[in-house]
Structure 1
C-alpha cells in the first residue's frame, strides 16, 4: 500500500518543508499539553480535547483525499479498536512525560521509539535485525543512560520511566500500523483513530472533566488543531519526497522543543542532555538508514506514527 505520488513527481524540498513544519506543530502540541497540565488540567482532559479538536482536521483531510465512500475500513474493526486503545495509552504516557520533564528531555526520550520498534519487530514480526541495527539499538540506550545520569539534576527518574514507557507503547503502535498499512490508506487509519477515541475517552470526562478559563480553552483548541495539522503534514510530506529524505527532518523537533522550553519555562538542556540526545538521534537515523538499505522503502519513523507519538 502506498499513498505517495510516483517518484517522478517527487518534490523533495517541498517534502522537507512540510516535515519541518509538522515537527514545529508537534512541538506546539506538547508545549500546549505541558502548559495545560500546569494549569491543573487532567491528563484525561488533555487527551480527550486533543482528539476532539483534531477530529475535524482529520475528517476534512480524509474526505478531501479519498471521499466519504472510501472511508469504510478494509481491516477488521477489532484491529482499529486495538490500535486506538494502544495509541491512547501511549498518548497518556507521552503527555505525562511532557508534564513531568523539561520539554527537550521528554522529546529526546521519545526519539527512542525506533529503537524499541526494532526490538519488537524482532520479537513479534520475526524480523532479523543484523549487527548494524543491534549496534544502533545499543548506541541509543547509551544515550538514554547518559541523559539519566545522576549529574543531570533536572531529569527526574520517574519522568524518565514514564517517557520510556510512552516510547515503548508508541513503538507497539508502529508495529500495529505496519500491519494496518497493508490494507488501509493513511487517511483511513488516522480518521478512525480519532473517531474511535471519542467514545473511549468521553466517559472519563464524567470523573475528570473540569471548568476552565478562556486561556485554558484556547490552549485546548491549539492542542487539538496543532496535533491534527501535524498529522496531516507528516503524512503529506511522504507524498512528495522519499522517506529516506523525510525521516531525518523529524529530529528537528528537538530544536522547537528546546526553544519552547527556554521561552516558556526558562529551561535549557545541560551537556548530558545534549550528548544523550545526539546519541539517540544518531541511533534512530542509523536504524532508518539500515531499513532503507534492507527494504529500499522504510516504514518506521520517529515522528511518522500516524497518531503514534502524538497519539
Structure 2
C-alpha cells in the first residue's frame, strides 16, 4: 500500500525545520514506541547531520516492553543519538526528558541563553500531549485525528530549556509498503487515505504470528484461525459484526480490530522489530532504484532522435 498524503502545511514545516536547525542545540524526535522505524521521518536524518538527537518513544505503555528495550539499544547505535521511553499515563517519566537535555548540555543549561531544543514528529505520535505536560499548561492542541498542529511555536519550559514545536511532518511518499500499513494501523494516517479492511488484514496477519495468545484471550477463541481473513471472520462472529443474512461485515470488524489495537485493549503490542529493519530497507532501496530506472527510460523516450 503506497500512501501519498502531504498537506500543504507539512511542506511549510519542512522548510521551517531547515531554517531553525542552525540555532538548535538538540533535536527531540518523538516516535511511536509501537512502530519506531515506521514513525521515523527519513527526511529528518538527512537534515540533522550530526546534530545531537533524543529519540523519544512515546506511547510506551501500549508497546511491548521487551521490544521497546531492543529498539532503544538499536537506536543508540547511531552516533550522537540517545533514546527515552515515555508514557503520558506516567507523567513522571516525562521529567527524564528535560533531565537528559540538561545532562547533555550542562553549561548551556546554567547560562542565560539556555538550551534550544527542536521537537519534531509525524502526526498523531503524541508530540502535543508531551509538550503540554512538560509546559504544565495547554500549549498544543491534542486529538486522535492526525495533523492538528499547523504552525511552529516557541515554548519556554523553564529550567534553562526553550522548545520549538513544529507541525507533524509525514514524508511526501511512503514507499515502504509495510510502513504504510503500520502507520495506518496506529492512526498516524487519516482514514480517507486507506481502506480499513486492507489495514486490518495486514494487522491480523502480523498478530497471528507475533501475538497469538493475545488474540485468543481477547476474543475468547477456542482455536487460532489459520489466516488473516479467517481471524476477522471469527472476531466478527464473536462480536456481532454481522450483515443481513448472518455474514460478517468486514468493514465493521476491521474498524473494531484497529480500534482495539490503538486503545491497547489487545495488550501491549509492537508492530515491528529491529530484526525486520534490514529486509525492509533493502526492499525500499529496490523500489527506489526501479523508479529511477523508469524515470531515466521516460527521459530517453522524450529526447529527440538524431537524424
Bigger Rg, structure 1 or 2: 2
Q: TM-score, normalised by structure 2?
A: 0.24
The structure with higher relative contact order (CA 8 Å, sep 6+) is 1
* Bigger fraction of residues in strand: 2
Higher helix proportion, which one?
Answer: 1
